Amino acid sequence: MQKLFRFNYVFLLLLLMFFSIHIPIKATLAPVPQSDEPTVYLTFDDGPTPKITDQILDVLKSQNVKATFFVVGKEIKGREAILKRIYDEGHSIGLHTYSHNFKIIYKDPESFIMEMEKTNTTINEVLGTNLEIKAIRFPGGSAGRLNKNFYHKLCEKGYLIFDWNVDLQDGIKGNLSPECFLQNSKKCMDKSTRRIILAHCNSNNQNTCEALDDIISYYKNEGYTFKAIDHTTEPYYYKFKK
């Protein structure tokens, strides 16, 4: 009886060792680690726009700061030189649909994706590049628009969604004073050390240009590092039911 027990014990031990070696464990992707380094991403929507985008680029150049421009495809025609300047000066380019027409882009996920692809194609035609731009921004933000099905279709295409946690409010209130935009730039929606600032470069955003120097100086004095969004940047989007 004792020998039988010993044999069963050894057999069980060998069996466990075999399965521990040969049975693969299903891998799960670990979340991208968040750096504790205070980082700020300056982002500008809706361009390229004559005069305003150039003024913004002038300030960025003088401050030695790189930013991200979420461009609208239909705005590129006749403003190719501005887009080229954005690219040549080392800023990153994101996709912000082609038409910016909510009835078209939010008809269904396929229409939304087609708009992004059309803008990417237009950018490459102008720049003479073969960029696969994956950083995207929903016009009006993803809240109330992004859902499980939509999200998975975007993931299949490799898109990275970027909403924001700091809003200058210059998209709907372009006539606010530069001081108001500066104060808005200090208000974060969460406690993250990563700030993604929503700003605009439409024709009515002159005061955004006026505030930009002070906004950059404020964050530099607070110890923040400015970065442009790229393929390694962790996406940021508002919560939705998965």
Residue type, 39: T
State how far the Cα of 93 lies from the Cα of 210, in Å rounded to an integer. Answer: 23
Number of other CB atoms surrounding residue 235 within 10 Å: 16
**In terms of residues, how long is the chain?**
242
Residue 190 falls in the annotated catalytic set: no
Catalytic pick among 46, 54, 96, 200: 200
What would the DSSP string read from start to end of 81-95?
HHHHHHHHTT-EEEE
Residue 100 falls in the annotated catalytic set: no
Catalytic pick among 22, 36, 45, 54: 45
State how far the Cα of 133 lies from the Cα of 113, in Å rounded to an integer. Answer: 12
194-204 per-residue burial string, b: 16 or more CB within 10 A, e: under 16: bbbbbbbbbee
State how far the Cα of 226 lies from the Cα of 22, in Å rounded to an integer. Answer: 47
Q: Which residues contact 55 (CB under 8 A, 6 or more apart)?
A: 206, 209
Contact call for residues 56 and 209 (beta carbons, < 8 A)? yes
- Residues labelled as active-site residues: 45, 200
